[in-house]
Structure 1
Amino acid sequence: MQDPNDPSQTPPPYNEPPAAGQASDAGIPADQRQWALFTHLSALIGFIIPFGNILGPLVMWLVKRETMPFADEQGKEALNFNITVGIIGLALVVLTFITFGLGVILTAPIGVAVFVAWLVLTIIAAIKANDGLAYRYPFTMRLVK
């Protein structure tokens, strides 16, 4: 006969997945993780709109910074990274003009490397944010506090 007070005989509790808006295993609510994901990915709008890589994260951050702490933190991180990449791109363009195009030999490989790093790091940050992990981009000037 089973004793209802014996913990070794009771089945383990069923763990249901968190509902929308509840905390995940990382402790960050699903809606905040999703907004942080979209904030990082919004930089990809730069493929369509000039300066979209800065405008996308800026708009997303401004919309949710007051109500979602995780989205606020990741929004600032995405914005700072994209501003830094924009400054590097602008410096490469200026260097090319100053050297009357001779700088293309130097700036083109650097520009390609910066572009690939931007794309890869943006995707990594989006994945980490969706997992509820705060991502810090390397080599980023922290301009927006």
Structure 2
Amino acid sequence: MSENPIDPSQTSAPPPPPSSEHPSGVSSDQRQWAMFAHLSAIAGAVLTSGVGGWGTFLGPLIIWLVKKDTMPFVDDQAKEALNFNITVAIVFFALWVLVFVTLGIGLLIAIPAWFVIGIAWLVFTIIAAIKANDGVTYRYPFTMRLVK
């Protein structure tokens, strides 16, 4: 009796075709736009008056207004970027008020604070952009959620 060289019970199923969907379930377009929402704050800071300036929240605002109805992940992340940058702008403005109210003496507090906040802003923004590109929802620390 001859044995069948190909036993159907011994064969394994072919591997499934590669999936075009990201493991997070978020499409590549949404991940890319969400990343742009975070990075647009850096571009705004470079093109305008720096961290805490109006340019830092203009990019996230525009992306949020354009994509909020069609891309839920972008809606969430653009709002998060917008809220974070508005919060940083408010803190920078409050430090300026401190400087003017104390007739310049507040600079002893404001200058180191601006430096620390600026570095933290840059680090958190880059982390958020990387997380968004991975399809992970990111929440900035110490952020007032003004835009809901």
TM, length-normalised to structure 2: 0.89
Structure number with greater Rg is 2
SS class of match (1:9): coil
2:30 counterpart letter in structure 1? Q
2:38 counterpart letter in structure 1? H
Structure 2 unaligned regions, length at least 5: none
Matched, 1:43 2:46: no
4+ long deviations beyond 4 Å: none
User: Distance in 1 between the 2:40 and 2:18 partners?
Assistant: 32
Q: Name 2:112's counterpart in structure 1.
A: 109
User: Distance in 1 between the 2:41 and 2:82 partners?
Assistant: 9
Q: Name 2:27's counterpart in structure 1.
A: 29
User: Distance in 1 between the 2:47 and 2:145 partners?
Assistant: 26
Q: C-alpha deviations, 1:2-39, integer Å up to 9, x for none?
A: 223x2x52255054252xxxx20111111000000000
How far the C-alpha of 1:49 sits from its partner, in A, is 2.2
Q: C-alpha deviations, 1:104-142, integer Å up to 9, x for none?
A: 111111111110010000000000000000000000000
Q: Name 1:79's counterpart in structure 2.
A: 82
Aligned residues: 139
User: Distance in 2 between the 1:109 and 1:72 partners?
Assistant: 34
Task: Report the identity percentage.
Answer: 55
SS class of match (1:73): helix
1:49 counterpart letter in structure 2? T
Matched, 1:96 2:99: yes
